[in-house]
Amino acid sequence: EQWRKEFGKDPKIILAVGRLIKWKGFEYLVKALPIILAKIPQAKLIILGKGPEEESLRRLARKLNLTINKHLFFAGTFGPDKMPTIYASSDVVVSPSITNTKTGEKEGQGNVVLEARASGTPVIASRSGGLVDTIDGKTNGLLFEERNYKELAEKIIQIFSNKKVRNELSINGLKYVRENFPWRKTSQKFEELYEKLV
């Protein structure tokens, strides 16, 4: 509650976490924000991370008439000890990654969407890289096409507008991570992979 109060009265918090680089796709989340605000005026987009794209994202926000520290917050970085609280204090976590057409870079497994669900927070992600390996698009998280910021806006509005959907995504996402990504199981898979490679 204390963390949420920093963003105004009854904020609807959209959280994005990651290095501010091109293929993380944060520009599409910023582009989605005006559409979201038209339906959900209390929406607040909080971006955690640092990187070379920050100034470009700030310019895009100004171009879209978004006010920094009112609609959109660049909150810097936090240590791993703070992240579970931040995830759990958010209403939805978004991973809008894209495939870099020049380099081929794209999202790997997507730890952010796993960590968010481990904190009981619903997630929305692009159909990029390894994100589709852990998100089914229906029960444990929602998916949208890369770069389609209008579809992304619709998915975020859906989560804020439908409490039943939000609760089901929260419960199912947490269950999925607990069943598939406990440390014991993850380390066992790595051990089996190393044995096979050797």
CB 31 within 8 A of CB 56: no
Please give the pLDDT value at position 146: 96
C-alpha distances in Å from residue 109, one per residue of 35, 92, 114, 141, 149: 29, 19, 9, 14, 22
For residue 161, give both structure tokens. Answer: 């507008």
Please give the pLDDT value at position 100: 87
Please give the pLDDT value at position 130: 92
- Mean pLDDT across the chain: 95
Question: Tens digits of per-residue pLDDT, 102-154?
Answer: 888 889 888 999 999 999 999 999 999 999 999 999 999 999 999 999 999 99
For residue 47, give both structure tokens. Answer: 């971006």
Sheet holding 43-48, edge to edge: 72-74, 43-48, 12-17, 92-95, 123-126, 142-144
Give the mean pLDDT of 62-70.
96
Return the number of other C-beta atoms located less than 10 Å from residue 198's C-beta. 5
Whole-structure pTM value: 0.93
Question: Tens digits of per-residue pLDDT, 98-113?
Answer: 998 888 888 988 899 9
Please give the pLDDT value at position 16: 98
Give the mean pLDDT of 89-95.
97
Please give the pLDDT value at position 183: 83
Give the mean pLDDT of 71-83.
93
Residues near 88 by beta carbon (within 8 Å), at least 6 away in sequence: 119, 120, 121
Strands 92-95 and 123-126, bridge-based pairing: parallel
Please give the pLDDT value at position 103: 86
185 vs 97, more confident: 97
* Band (182; pLDDT cuts 50, 70, 90): confident
* Band (198; pLDDT cuts 50, 70, 90): very high
